[in-house]
């Protein structure tokens, strides 16, 4: 039953124990020296197996302490228009409402607010030229004390210049709520694009990601009733912590 390579054999054994629950989330793996003895090999080979599992996201290692089976809260990110509408009417940030309803403690930190030249892709989505000034609001969201989202929201100055969106403080109901209430606009549609990749070193450190955890990057554009894009929200979230849900309504067949 031995695999071709000792390090694979060790990794396969441990992975199996994790998947079938013999090694539960949070459990400590046997020490590297112990595994080396058990498999009659050297610590170097054991370490290679451990590194493989870490790369697959199964375990995290703590120097001086041990390697542990990882566990993550499962967050469900539901993106439907009616939910957004009803939560926005509740007066608090839709995102917070989302997760507090799911029983998680949410803390939002506004990192910075200011005008910056728009990145090329953002400018295009907002109908501006690259480098045009936009209002940027950056924040980090902590859930249960762990960083769970890095968000950068971009707003055209033509619409939001001089409003609360340009000020460095929280806005009750969010900027889009303010857009609907104070600016008499109406949000009619979001278009969201989601892509997946491994984090850059900076992202990994800001999200406190152990190695081997991919991130999801979403770019959400908000359109008002006239089809104008009024917000571009770029989010980076740990890929293994979220499930995204989308509802897609299908129109009836064309009449013959």
Partner DNA sequence: GAGTGGTCTAGACCACGAC
Partner DNA sequence: TCGTGGTCTAGACCACTCG
> Which residues make up the interface to DNA (CB under 7 A)?
5-8, 29, 31-34, 41-45, 47-48, 50, 61-67
Instruction: Report the alpha-carbon distance of residue 52 to residue 212 in Å, rounded.
Output: 9
Cα–Cα nearest to 82, from 190, 235, 193: 190
Q: Is 79 in the site for its own copies (CB under 8 A)?
A: yes
Q: Which is nearer to its own copies, 65 or 195 (CB)?
A: 195
Residue 157 contact among DNA, its own copies, none, beta carbon within 5 to 8 Å by kind: none
DSSP 24: -
Instruction: Give one DSSP letter per residue of 199-218, joined into a string.
Output: PPHHHHHHTTPPTT--EEEE
Q: Which is nearer to DNA, 60 or 128 (CB)?
A: 60
The single residue among 9, 39, 43, 51 that binds its own copies, judged by CB under 8 A, is 51
Q: Which is nearer to its own copies, 57 or 161 (CB)?
A: 57
The single residue among 49, 59, 187, 230 that binds its own copies, judged by CB under 8 A, is 187
Total of chain residues touching its own copies, rule CB under 8 A:
46
Residue 34 contact among DNA, its own copies, none, beta carbon within 5 to 8 Å by kind: DNA
Cα–Cα nearest to 244, from 103, 122, 149: 149
Instruction: Report the alpha-carbon distance of residue 71 to residue 26 in Å, rounded.
Output: 7
DSSP 198: P
Instruction: Report the alpha-carbon distance of residue 30 to residue 48 in Å, rounded.
Output: 15
Instruction: Report the alpha-carbon distance of residue 206 to residue 33 in Å, rounded.
Output: 32
Q: Is 251 in the site for its own copies (CB under 8 A)?
A: yes
Instruction: Report the alpha-carbon distance of residue 94 to residue 194 in Å, rounded.
Output: 19
Q: What is the smallest separation between the CB atom of 21 and DNA, expressed in angstroms?
A: 20
* Footprint on residues 205-234 left by its own copies (CB under 8 A): 211-212, 214, 216
Residue 2 contact among DNA, its own copies, none, beta carbon within 5 to 8 Å by kind: none
* Footprint on residues 101-120 left by its own copies (CB under 8 A): none
The angle at the Cα of 241, spanning 247 to 94, to the nearest 5 degrees, equals 50
The single residue among 13, 180, 203, 206 that binds its own copies, judged by CB under 8 A, is 180
Cα–Cα nearest to 204, from 195, 212, 196: 212
Residue 42 contact among its own copies, DNA, none, beta carbon within 5 to 8 Å by kind: DNA
Q: Which residue ranges make up the site for its own copies (CB under 8 A)?
A: 12, 51, 55-57, 79-82, 84-85, 89, 180, 186-198, 201, 211-212, 214, 216, 239-240, 242-254
């Amino acid at each position: 039953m031995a695999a071709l390579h000792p390090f694979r054999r060790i990794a396969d054994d441990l992975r199996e124990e994790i998947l079938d629950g013999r090694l539960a989330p949070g459990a400590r793996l046997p020490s590297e020296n112990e595994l080396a003895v058990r498999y009659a090999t050297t610590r170097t080979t054991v370490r290679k197996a451990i590194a493989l599992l870490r790369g697959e996201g199964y375990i995290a290692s703590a120097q001086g302490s041990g390697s542990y089976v990882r566990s993550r809260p499962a967050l469900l990110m539901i993106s439907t228009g009616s939910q957004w509408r009803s939560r926005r009417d509740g007066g608090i940030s839709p995102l917070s409402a989302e997760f507090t309803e799911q029983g998680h403690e949410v803390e939002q930190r506004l990192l910075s607010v200011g005008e910056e030249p728009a990145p090329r892709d953002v400018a295009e989505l907002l109908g501006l030229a690259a480098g045009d000034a936009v209002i940027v609001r950056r924040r980090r969201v902590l859930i249960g004390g762990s960083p769970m989202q890095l968000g950068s929201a971009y707003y055209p100055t033509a619409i939001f210049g001089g409003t609360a969106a340009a000020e460095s403080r929280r806005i009750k109901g969010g900027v889009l709520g303010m857009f609907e209430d104070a600016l008499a606009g109406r949000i009619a549609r979001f278009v969201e694009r989601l892509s997946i990749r491994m984090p850059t070193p900076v992202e990994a450190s800001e999200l406190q990601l152990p190695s081997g955890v991919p991130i999801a990057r979403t770019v959400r554009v908000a359109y008002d009733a006239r089809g104008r894009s009024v917000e571009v929200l770029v989010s980076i979230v740990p890929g293994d912590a979220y499930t995204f849900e989308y509802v897609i309504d299908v129109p009836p067949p064309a009449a013959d």
